[in-house]
Amino acid sequence: MRSFEQWAKEATDPEIAAGKPEALPGLRVLELSPGHFGGMVAASVLAEFGAEVIKVEAPGGDPARSYAPEGIAIAGTGLPFLSEARNRKFVTLSLEDEEGARIFRRLAAASDVVVETEGPARMDSLGLGYQALSRENPALIYLTLTTYGSFGPDAGRQVKDSDLLCQALSGVPHVTGDPEENGPGEEFQVPTKTGNWHGWFAEGLWGAFGVLAALMHREATGKGQMVDVAGADAMMKFVDYNITWMHTAGRERRRTGKFDPAVFPYTYIRCRDGHTFIAAYNDEAFESLMHIIGRPELAKDPRFRTGPDRTRIENEKALHAILEEWSGLRTADEILREIEEYTSKKSGHGAAVVTGRVNRPLETLSESNWWDRGCFSRVADPVYGNLLLAAPPWKMSGTPPRIRSVCRPQGADNEEVYATLLGMTGRDLSSLRARGIL
Amino acid sequence: MNGSRGFFERAFSLASLPSRPEALRGIRVLELATRIFGPATTDYLGEFGAEVIKVELPLTGDLMRYVAPEGFYWQDVSPAFLPQNRNKLHVGIDVRLPEGKELFTRIAQKSDVVVENLRAGTMDRWGIGYRQLREKNPGLVYAANSGFGQWGPYARGRASYDATAQAVSGMSAITGFPGRPPVRVGLWIGDFTGSLCSAIAILAALAARRRTGEGQMIDLAQGEALIRALDWTWMYADISGRDRERSGNRDVTFSPSGIYRCADGFVAISARDDAEQGALAKTLGVSTATPEDVAPFAAPRTCAEIVRIGEEAGFSAAPVQGGRDQYHNPHLRARGTVWELDDPLYGRVDEFGPVPKLSESPGRIKWSAKPVGYHNEEVFGGLLGLSEEEREELEGKKVIGKWADAPGARPPHGEAGGPAGGGEKEGPAR
């Protein structure tokens, strides 16, 4: 019998995904997410699994195309949009125009899923709310993504959903970063957001999850439904045990920086070439780590003998300094090698010494592991050139996800989509174009 | 507008929710997993009606039971164990023993999904991995959640925690302030993001199975899920040859959007398009707003004042909330995002509720986590049809069992009985 690892690679390697069937073929998704990265993520996930996603942009292009950190854009489209525009068809349509809104209704009637980020008030004012669209297509699954959601006392708040709002309300910044020691401190001793758009990303992922759950219900009953995701709720769900701790003890999670209230060491430490993660928090693993750093006597030091001893804040500080005396003289790779050499001879709890370099993005890109695993893809497009994308994270043996395209200009698929779905002729399209509707 | 308000109040009413259908009814999920990345995956499926059978080692069970914040247990359960273990049937099986493997396999034969998060290859070595189970149940969807995947250079025996994923993915390197060290996000974000990705893939695989009848294996590595989540980081590195810098609390795409100190805490001020940028600049009395303009505007005002000014002027603002704010937030309670649960064993428990709100087949929390082996009779007797004698024999051989008499594993003090109406007669496992 082949080794499991060999078998698993042969069964799930993304290299061979293109020859396999897809999970969601024939599922048509209409995406209306102007300026909204979370809506793009939700649609991308469905598209990676094989859904046909039609992205509707205003005739001038989606405002998100102009998002351009450091001003970097390719053919007028910035990197955030390019990194999340995969596997779509691109049509233009002015919803401000009554005829445009009517065309959107016809597209929705021919679709399985609508993804929208404009919110119920605006969609209703355009005649494109869930109630209107579902009357014409009762099997429609209608995903709406907004900061506060479609119902509840704050649902009417006038905000434009953004990663930052989702993050702030989620509670993630509240527990991230360095605490103040005595009153307002340094500029960095504040609630800290994640560097990436994780709020938007979580919002989109939950949206895709909701659509897939609704699809299960539709298979059983034939009924569509509305799926309401609040961006604030999305990443909130990831803040560990915040609500149960409040309920049971009246306590909430707070920022602890590099220290940890429950387990130590479980922290980043400085090393010769940057920083690395180190964890060895059960007694046996801690003893292993003290052997590895050449200080076996510290396992019996009264400050560090038990878990509760090690998690006293003054002892965490002392231990952190001791670890950095050792790690400061070594590179992250040397630390990994020393730890693996020691723990490979151990089993059970004593082997639970865990490390990993705090990679800068270019360091992650330089490690062959991620390329072997198919985590990154280079995709060429005649307009945008050869671009690097993060690939779908799922390796699947039967119906693997895949990247089929990186991005297209707005309206690139107008002819195909409007002709095949709505039976429009070339003359219809010219007329709509002339009136600024396409 | 009012019409649609009325529709939402009806469609998403928490009061009528218990009588609504469930989206994943009839899907049985078998979990052999510990801590977060695994248990949270099945919890997300369980919220929408999947029946989740959580297998734990008799006596101690899932080691997450003993991750107690500041050593605090409530009614002998850790509040950190509860959030990712709701709506589950808890059984105690020692899957390392031959008869334990056989029991596990028998449940897997009656299941639609298996979720595990052991080190890569462990289940296969034990004879209960995907290769063995699919022989018995070709329709099985099998999710293997891990740190570095089931194959590849880092897969071989390399252990991983949440923070390993945050570190190796590049996420920490872009989080934090310029000139300061990289910051680990203060929650298990790699575990939870990975768990949600795993649940998504399971639903996609179930959709595929309806057409083909075939199951499949899903290999999900948590570091790889975080890599996928880093938006423009990779394209930027590739094109510029540079690392994306840490930018603290500024969103550099929408400058001066960011988190600012205000009179009573911290506030997020957000301007994602020209209209909002213009409104913010006008409020500040400048032509183009910079962070240096926003900071002195925010500092003397309360968060509520800034939110109101934003609503009137046309830019967005929101408070930087913590758990305490969320727990007491009427909006979150009205949405069931903070879920008020009456648990048969623990009484009132407030928990995180389902995130997506479905108008026809809404998610729900039906009961909270339970002690090790709490549902042994229901699953071994009901689902597998084992007689009382057979169950006693397996217990005697320590193949199946219940909780240790210790905080974290056992029922609340003085509550050694079983579920309401259940047939449990005995106390702690011997």
- Looking at chain B, the whole-number percentage of residues with pLDDT higher than 90 is 92
CA distances to A232, B189, B198, B244, B391 from A202, rounded to whole Å, are 10, 10, 13, 21, 43
Q: Pick the catalytic residue from B43, B76, B191, B343.
A: B191
Q: Which of A81, A364, A368 to mutate to test the interface with B (most CBs of B within 10 A)?
A: A364
The maximal CA–CA distance of chain B, rounded, in angstroms, is: 82
Q: What is the mean pLDDT of residues B51-61?
A: 98
User: Using a CB-CB distance cutoff of 8 angstroms, which residues of chain A are in contact with residue B231?
Assistant: 37, 80, 83-84, 196-197, 200-201
pLDDT of residue B359: 98
- pLDDT bin (cut points 50, 70, 90) of residue B430 is very low
Pairing verdict, β B265-270 and A77-78:
unpaired
Cα–chain center distance at B118? 17
Q: What part of A 237-256 touches B (C-beta under 8 Å)?
A: 237-249, 251-256
CB-based contact A128:A101 (threshold 8 Å): yes
Enumerate long-range contacts of A323-331, CB under 8 Å, 24 or more apart: A323/A265, A323/A267, A323/A269, A323/A278, A323/A293, A324/A269, A324/A270, A326/A293, A326/A294, A326/A295, A327/A269, A327/A270, A327/A271, A327/A276, A327/A278, A328/A270, A328/A271, A328/A272, A329/A272, A330/A271, A330/A272, A331/A271, A331/A272, A331/A273
Highest mean pLDDT among A340-354, A365-379, B4-18: A365-379
Residue B429 has pLDDT above 50, yes or no: no
**What pLDDT, on a 0 to 100 scale, did the predictor assign at position A1?**
57
Domains of chain B: 2-228+368-396 (3.40.50.10540), 252-321 (3.30.1540.10)
- Average pLDDT, rounded, for chain B: 94
- In the residue annotation, B191 being an active-site residue is answered as yes
- pLDDT of the residue at B3: 63
- Calculate the alpha carbon distances from B423 to A132, B43, B96 in Å: 51, 25, 27
- Comparison of pLDDT for B368 and B157, the residue scoring more: B368
- How many angstroms away from the CA of A114 is the closest CA of chain B? 14
B115–chain A nearest CA distance, Å = 14
Cα distance from A130 to chain B (closest Cα, Å)? Answer: 9
Q: Report which residue type is found at B125.
A: R
Q: pTM for the complete prediction?
A: 0.97
Contact (CB<8Å) A4/B1: no
Asked if B172's CB is within 8 angstroms of A247's CB, the reply is no
Cα(B427)–Cα(B414) distance, integer angstroms: 10
Predicted local confidence at residue B4, as pLDDT? 78
What pLDDT score was predicted for residue A411? Answer: 98
A355 interface with B at CB cutoff 8 Å:
yes
Residues of chain B in contact with residue A354, where contact means CB-CB under 8 angstroms, are 159-161, 164
Q: Is the pLDDT of residue B414 over 80?
A: no
The shortest C-alpha distance from B390 to chain A (Å) reads 32
pLDDT at B345: 97
pLDDT, position B310: 98
pLDDT tens for A296-327 read 999 999 999 999 899 899 999 999 999 999 99
CA pair distance B412, B345, nearest whole angstrom? 8
Contact B321 A216 (CB under 8 A): no
Domain range list for chain A = 4-238+372-434, 266-359
* Same fold for the pair A4-238+372-434 and A266-359: no
Reported confidence tier of residue A218, pLDDT bands at 50, 70, 90:
very high
Q: Which CATH number fits domain A266-359: 3.30.70.270, 3.30.1540.10, 3.90.320.10, 3.40.50.970?
A: 3.30.1540.10
CA atoms within 13 A on the CB side of A338: 17
Residues within 8 A of B (CB atoms), A 277-306 only: 277, 279
Q: Please write the tens of the pLDDT for every residue from B159-208.
A: 789 999 999 999 999 999 999 999 999 999 999 999 999 999 999 999 99
Tell the CATH superfamily of the A4-238+372-434 domain: Crotonobetainyl-coa:carnitine coa-transferase; domain 1 (3.40.50.10540)
Alpha-carbon distance of A172 to A240, in angstroms, equals 10
User: Would the CB atoms of A266 and B74 count as touching at under 8 Å?
Assistant: no
For the residues B6-30, what does the mean pLDDT come to? 95
- B59 beta partners: B403
Band of pLDDT at residue B415, cut at 50, 70 and 90: low
- CA A345 to chain B, closest CA, distance in angstroms equals 12
Which tens digits make up the pLDDT trace of B110-123? 999 999 999 999 99
In the sheet that holds B216-221, the strands lie side by side as: A395-396, B216-221, B141-146, B113-116, B28-32, B51-56, B88-92
How far is A46 from B382, CA to CA, in rounded Å? Answer: 38
**Confidence (pLDDT) at B421:** 31
Residue A76 is encoded by which pair of tokens? 């007028």
Q: Are B39 and B62 in contact (CB under 8 A)?
A: yes
Other beta carbons within 10 Å of B71: 13
Report the residue of chain A nearest B140, measured CA to CA.
Answer: A398
Residue B30 — very low, low, confident or very high, per pLDDT cuts 50/70/90? Answer: very high
Q: How would DSSP label each residue in A369-382?
A: HHHHTT-EEEEEET
* Interchain pair B219, A162: CB under 8 A: no
User: Looking at residue B428, what is its pLDDT?
Assistant: 34
Rounded mean pLDDT, A255-269 = 91
A184 touches chain B (CB under 8 A): yes
Are β-strands A141-146 and A225-230 bridged in parallel, bridged antiparallel, or unpaired?
parallel
Pair B419, B425: CB distance under 8 Å: no
pLDDT value at residue B40: 98
Partners of B217 in beta bridges: B142
Contacts of B167 in chain A (CB under 8 A): 268, 275-277, 356-359
Q: Residue B420 above 90 pLDDT?
A: no
pLDDT bin (cut points 50, 70, 90) of residue B424 is very low
pLDDT over 60 at B425, yes or no: no
Nearest to B54 by CA among B401, B380, B375: B375
Check CB contact of A45 with chain B, cutoff 8 Å.
yes
Buried b / exposed e across B264-291, counting CB within 10 Å, b at 16+?
Answer: eebbbbbbbbeebbbbbbebbeeeebee
pLDDT digits (tens, 9 = 90+) for B128-146: 999 999 999 999 999 999 9
Number of other CB atoms surrounding residue B106 within 10 Å? 16
Q: Which of A359, A371, A377 to mutate to test the interface with B (most CBs of B within 10 A)?
A: A359
Tens-digit pLDDT profile for residues A95-141: 999 999 999 999 999 999 999 999 999 999 999 999 999 999 999 99
How would you label A145-157 residue by residue, b for 16+ Cβ within 10 Å and e otherwise?
Answer: bbbbbbbbebbeb
CA B105, CA B112: separation in Å to the nearest integer? 12
Q: Is A20's pLDDT higher than 80?
A: yes
- Sort A284 into a burial class: Cβ within 10 Å, 0-12 / 13-18 / 19+: middle
Q: What is the dihedral of CA A409, A412, A417, A418, to 10 degrees?
A: 110
